């Protein structure tokens, strides 16, 4: 936009300068020629009394002196054919002037000025002076140069003014665009400081109102989910009590598993709905968070005789994810390992730096692998789960500038690779 406004100002100023400077340059040329012509004519007119009344000897001396003083060649053609002063041809224009008519004639080499003088009763004499092209254009080149420099200066000033004006318009627009991107990345605290023209200020104010409304809607959603959690946990607790009263142990075990599944589904739905990412502004040390969560789950792994292989690179490994969200991702993935593989199944957790910044987290197990060919698809699950866990982890990774890959491990089990981008500068 700045470039377009500068080009527009340059084009408009150029048209104005052309419309103004071209006629002015022509006027300068005309004035210079007229000035030289007037000077030569005045010099010729000064000789009229001498030509009309003086004798030939006096006239000859006066003509030579006048030519030297004015710097222009002066010639006097007497009625008897005598030529005094600078040599010059007796052309048609001189013959025309001998009829008593003073004239000015344009020639290829300049301008010829002829003054007719009645010399007593002896006929008409003609005073001829000649102004060359160089003298007619004397000072024109310098004047044109000055006009050109003035034009260039005005053009440069117009471009600078247009650029400053464009900057005053573009900066508020860039601020609005930057806040829009921050809102898209989840930073609901981003606000525009309205500035610039009234239209841009209106856009900034509307964007601030939109951000406030989004925050209000999310707050309402979180409150609704909190109410839902309280409403659902009560019947789940009642179901657990009913399970304990069942006499058939096998049937009680099946119902208990079903209740556990329902509780896990509710927990995942609530966790997903109550997430409040601040992507783009959040950051944490992935090495510290992952190590802490692996240590937490290692206690349960020890109870279930699950060998754990760790490959955690010492930190710091800064990533563009909050510690709470990263911990939630690790918990979701490790919970899937415990929920969908038999007791005693080994698993491994590896954390390494990501080329270009960030971190790569790989969680693999030696269980039966994925039952569904597209396990990352939202709501897809081959087992008794919602299928939301991997989708939550995927969107968290993508929000940081990374991604998620799911597939088989070398041992035939499942392998999840999460990549997290580096924090923004």
**Domain assignment of residue 379, yes or no:** yes
pLDDT digits (tens, 9 = 90+) for 100-120: 889 999 988 899 999 999 887
Last residue of some domain: 140, 168, 197?
140
**Domain assignment of residue 151, yes or no:** no
**Domain assignment of residue 155, yes or no:** no
Span 138-161, average pLDDT: 90
Q: Which long-range contacts (CB under 8 A, 24 or more apart) does 103-108 make?
A: 104/37, 104/41
pLDDT digits (tens, 9 = 90+) for 46-84: 888 888 887 888 888 888 888 888 788 999 998 888 888
**Domain assignment of residue 160, yes or no:** no
pLDDT tops 50 at residue 162: yes
Span 127-153, average pLDDT: 91
Distances (CA, A) of 409 to 174, 363, 412: 46, 9, 5
Min mean pLDDT across 123-127, 139-143, 271-275, 391-395 is at 271-275
CB-based burial label for 284 (10 Å; 0-12, 13-18, 19+): buried
**Domain assignment of residue 26, yes or no:** yes
Min mean pLDDT across 196-210, 275-289, 316-330, 411-425 is at 275-289
For residue 293, the domain's CATH number is: 3.30.565.10
Span 18-26, average pLDDT: 90
80 and 135: one domain? yes
Q: Share the mean pLDDT of the chain.
A: 83
For residue 70, the domain's CATH number is: 3.30.450.20
Domains in the chain: how many in total? 3
pLDDT digits (tens, 9 = 90+) for 361-411: 999 998 887 765 555 554 445 554 545 678 888 888 888 888 898 888 887
Min mean pLDDT across 17-26, 260-269, 291-300 is at 260-269
Give the full edge-to-edge strand order of the sheet including 83-85. 83-85, 74-77, 124-132, 110-118, 103-107
What per-residue confidence (pLDDT) applies to 386? 46
355 and 398: one domain? yes
221 and 98: one domain? no
pLDDT digits (tens, 9 = 90+) for 207-235: 999 989 988 887 777 777 766 766 776 77
pLDDT tops 80 at residue 26: yes
312 and 371: one domain? yes
**Domain assignment of residue 147, yes or no:** no
**Domain assignment of residue 81, yes or no:** yes
pLDDT tops 70 at residue 271: no
135 and 11: one domain? yes
298 and 255: one domain? no
At residue 284's C-alpha, the angle toward residues 364 and 422, to 5°, is 80
Last residue of some domain: 85, 115, 140?
140
For residue 232, the domain's CATH number is: 1.10.287.130
What per-residue confidence (pLDDT) applies to 417? 92
What per-residue confidence (pLDDT) applies to 118? 87
Q: Which of 383, 299, 290, 292 is nearest to 341 (CA)?
A: 383
What per-residue confidence (pLDDT) applies to 307? 92
pTM above threshold 0.85: no
26 and 129: one domain? yes
306 and 231: one domain? no
Domain span at 260: 185-276
Last residue of some domain: 111, 140, 169?
140
Band (352; pLDDT cuts 50, 70, 90): very high
Token pair belonging to 326: 């990263």
207 and 128: one domain? no
28 and 93: one domain? yes
298 and 266: one domain? no
310 and 243: one domain? no
Could you tell me if 360 and 418 are in contact, meaning their C-beta atoms sit under 8 angstroms apart? yes
**Domain assignment of residue 179, yes or no:** no
What per-residue confidence (pLDDT) applies to 279? 44
């Amino acid at each position: 936009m700045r470039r377009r406004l500068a080009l527009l100002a340059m084009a408009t100023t150029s048209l104005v300068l052309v419309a103004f400077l071209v006629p002015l340059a022509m006027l300068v040329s005309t004035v210079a020629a007229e000035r030289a012509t007037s000077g030569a004519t005045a010099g010729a007119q000064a000789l009229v009394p001498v030509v009309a009344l003086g004798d030939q000897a006096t006239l000859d001396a006066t003509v030579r002196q006048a030519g030297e003083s004015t710097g222009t060649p002066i010639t006097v053609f007497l009625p008897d054919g005598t030529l005094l002063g600078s040599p010059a041809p007796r052309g048609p224009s001189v013959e025309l002037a001998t009829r008593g008519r003073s004239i000015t004639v344009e020639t290829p080499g300049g301008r010829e000025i002829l003054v007719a003088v009645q010399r007593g009763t002896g006929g008409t004499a003609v005073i001829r002076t000649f102004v060359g092209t160089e003298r007619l254009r004397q000072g024109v080149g310098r004047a044109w140069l000055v006009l050109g420099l003035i034009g260039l200066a005005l053009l440069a000033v117009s471009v600078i003014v247009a650029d400053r004006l464009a900057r005053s318009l573009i900066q508020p627009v860039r601020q609005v665009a930057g806040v829009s991107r921050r809102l898209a990345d989840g930073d609901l605290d981003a606000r525009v400081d309205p500035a610039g023209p009234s239209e841009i200020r209106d856009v900034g104010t509307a964007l601030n109102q939109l951000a406030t409304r989004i925050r209000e809607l999310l707050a309402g959603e979180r409150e609704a989910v909190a109410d839902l959690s309280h409403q659902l946990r009560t019947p789940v607790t009642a179901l657990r009590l009913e399970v304990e009263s069942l006499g058939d142990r096998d049937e009680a075990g099946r119902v208990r598993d079903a209740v556990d599944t329902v509780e896990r589904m509710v927990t995942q739905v609530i966790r997903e709905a109550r997430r409040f990412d601040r992507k783009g502004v959040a950051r944490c040390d992935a090495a510290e968070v992952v190590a802490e969560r692996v240590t937490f789950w290692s206690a349960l792994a020890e109870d279930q005789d699950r060998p754990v292989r760790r490959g955690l690179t010492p930190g710091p490994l800064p990533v563009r994810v909050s510690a709470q969200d990263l911990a939630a991702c690790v918990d979701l993935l490790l919970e899937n390992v415990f929920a969908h593989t038999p007791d005693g199944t080994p698993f491994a957790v590896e954390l390494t730096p990501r080329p270009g910044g960030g971190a790569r987290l790989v969680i693999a197990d030696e269980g039966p692998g994925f039952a569904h060919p597209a396990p990352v698809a939202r709501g897809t699950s081959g087992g008794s789960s919602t299928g939301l866990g991997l989708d939550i982890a995927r969107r968290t990774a993508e929000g940081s500038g990374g991604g998620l890959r799911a597939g088989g491990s070398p041992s035939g089990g499942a392998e999840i690779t999460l990549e997290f981008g580096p924090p923004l500068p």
